[in-house]
Structure 1
Amino acid sequence: MSPTDMSPAGPVLQVRGLSKSFGSNQVLRGIDLEVPRGKVVALIGPSGSGKTTILRSLNGLETPDAGTVTVGARDAAPASQPGAEKPLIVDFGGVAPSKKELAKQLSALRDRSAMVFQQYNLFPHKTVLENVIEGPVQVQKRPRAEVVAEAESLLTRVGMLEKKDAHPFELSGGQQQRVGIVRALALRPQLLLFDEPTSSLDPELVDDVLIVIKELAEEGWTMVIVTHELAFARQTADEVVFMDGGVVVERGPASQVLRNPKEERTQAFVRRLLHEI
Structure 2
Amino acid sequence: MSPTDPVDASVVLSARGLTKSFGSNTVLRGIDLDVRRGQVVALIGPSGSGKTTVLRSLNGLEVPDGGTVSFGGTGTFGGAGAAGRAGAGTPLALDFGATVGKRGIAALRDRSAMVFQHYNLFPHMTVLKNVTEGPVQVQKRPKADAEADALRLLARVGLADKRDAYPFQLSGGQQQRVGIVRALALKPQLLLFDEPTSALDPELVGEVLAVIKELAEEGWTMVIVTHELGFARHVADEVVFMDGGIVVERGPAADVLGAPQQERTKQFVKRIQHEV
Runs of 4+ in structure 1 over 3 Å off: none
Aligned to 1:17: 17
1:28 to partner: Cα distance: 0.2
Tell me the TM-score normalised to structure 1 length: 0.90
Aligned to 1:85: 89
Amino acid at match of 2:228: E
User: What is the 5 A alignment of 1:107-118?
Assistant: 107-118=106-117
Aligned to 1:252: 251
1:103 to partner: Cα distance: 1.1
Distance in 2 separating the partners of 1:111 and 1:161 = 26
Amino acid at match of 1:109: L
- Closer, same or farther: CA 84–264 of 1 in aligned 2, 3 Å: closer
Distance in 2 separating the partners of 1:236 and 1:9 = 23
1:71 to partner: Cα distance: 1.5
Give CA deviations for 1:180-213 in whole Å, capped at 9, x if unaligned.
Answer: 0000000000000000000000000000000000
Tell me the TM-score normalised to structure 2 length: 0.91
Aligned to 1:272: 271
Amino acid at match of 1:221: W
Number of equivalent positions: 258
Aligned to 1:65: 65
Does residue 148 of the first structure (1) align with residue 152 of the second (2)?
Answer: no
1:151 to partner: Cα distance: 0.5
In structure 2, the gaps of 5 or more residues are 1-7, 76-86
Question: What is the root-mean-square deviation of aligned Cα atoms in Å?
Answer: 1.7
1:86 to partner: Cα distance: 2.4
1:74 to partner: Cα distance: 5.1
User: What is the 5 A alignment of 1:54-203?
Assistant: 54-73=54-73, 85-94=89-98, 96-97=99-100, 102-203=101-202
Asked if the contact 2:213/2:235 (under 8 Å) is kept, the reply is yes
Asked if the contact 1:18/1:28 (under 8 Å) is kept, the reply is yes
Amino acid at match of 1:92: F
Aligned to 2:84: none
Amino acid at match of 1:40: V
Percent of aligned positions that are identical = 73
Distance in 2 separating the partners of 1:190 and 1:150 = 17
Amino acid at match of 1:88: L
Aligned to 1:3: none
1:276 to partner: Cα distance: 8.5
Asked if the contact 2:73/2:93 (under 8 Å) is kept, the reply is no
